[in-house]
Copies of this chain bind each other. A is one copy, B any other.
């Protein structure tokens, strides 16, 4: 069986060591414990928890989710109990010695991002930060930060300065004219890694009630429907930056994982697929070595970015 071990190296030389390149995507895996009945969460590459803010957030009104062809829309609006409750109540329950725990963070100002980074950098059980500057479902901050290279850069710098030795992953939005340009700005601002994509802004309506299917009117599209867009984004970003790229968007099988690695991803995150089946991520992790063997892939690092375009 080929070894799936994956090293994501940060700029300062520190590294995230993953048993497998497959992690959970923020907001789709709760705080990890929700999935314990369905598989061994310590087998994941890493657990990326639901987005955290400094203060608790109630999120958006209902309805918050809608099913769409091969995908879904969500406008949860970053409901969470705040970083303190996470540290005191959720973090202790997680098997952090066996699997890296990555905190996904969200704030409405560079100062708050800095403080979140600072608070989390003192938690031994946290292995990295993923900075969400790409949420389309909040009025302040969110995707607005992720659509402006200057604003994004200043947030990355603020987080980096306060993250201590924690690797900083910056999560990009596909809702931009030029994602490569954003990635470049973020790399230059000092990010250790880039993950993409967050959701694509979308909408659904009911012709009978004449109401939007989401109370927030617009929401973020995810699931297999967005996979072609996500693959394109990862490919464009991986061609542009030299830091590790983490692929996200519609991944639902080991085959999908290899597609993202082929176009340049070092690792991937599984989102919506965990709703379709709570065992999906465990099955993907289990299937991956066998599929590599079948394809004669001896080494993921060699397969990575080996797309034949000539």
Contact = CB atoms under 8 A, between A and B. Distances in A.
A228 B210 contact: no
A148 to B, nearest CB: 9
Contact of A259 (B202, B207, B306): B207
Given A221-B228, A307-B212, A308-B211, A205 B70 contact: no
Contact of A70 (B70, B147, B229, B255): B70
Nearest to A256: B207
A202 B233 CA distance: 8
Chain A interface mostly: mixed
A82 interface: no
Task: Count this chain's copies in the assembly.
Answer: 2
Contact of A208 (B147, B200, B226, B295): B295
A37 interface: no
A303 to B, nearest CB: 8
A70 to B, nearest CB: 4
B262 A205 contact: yes
A8 interface: no
Contacts of A227: 68-69
A147 B177 CA distance: 7
Interface residues of A, number: 45
Contacts of A73: 228
A235 interface: yes
Interface string A221-234: 10011111101100
B307 A202 contact: no
A159 B30 CA distance: 53
Interface in A241-270: 250, 255, 258-259, 262-263
A88 interface: no
A204 interface: yes
Nearest to A217: B309
A176 interface: yes
B177 A200 contact: no
Given A203-B231, A212-B309, 17 more contacts: A68-B227, A69-B70, A69-B224, A69-B225, A69-B250, A70-B225, A201-B229, A204-B231, A204-B259, A205-B231, A207-B295, A208-B295, A212-B307, A217-B235, A218-B235, A221-B229, A225-B225
6 contacts: A69-B227, A69-B250, A71-B225, A201-B229, A212-B307, A225-B228
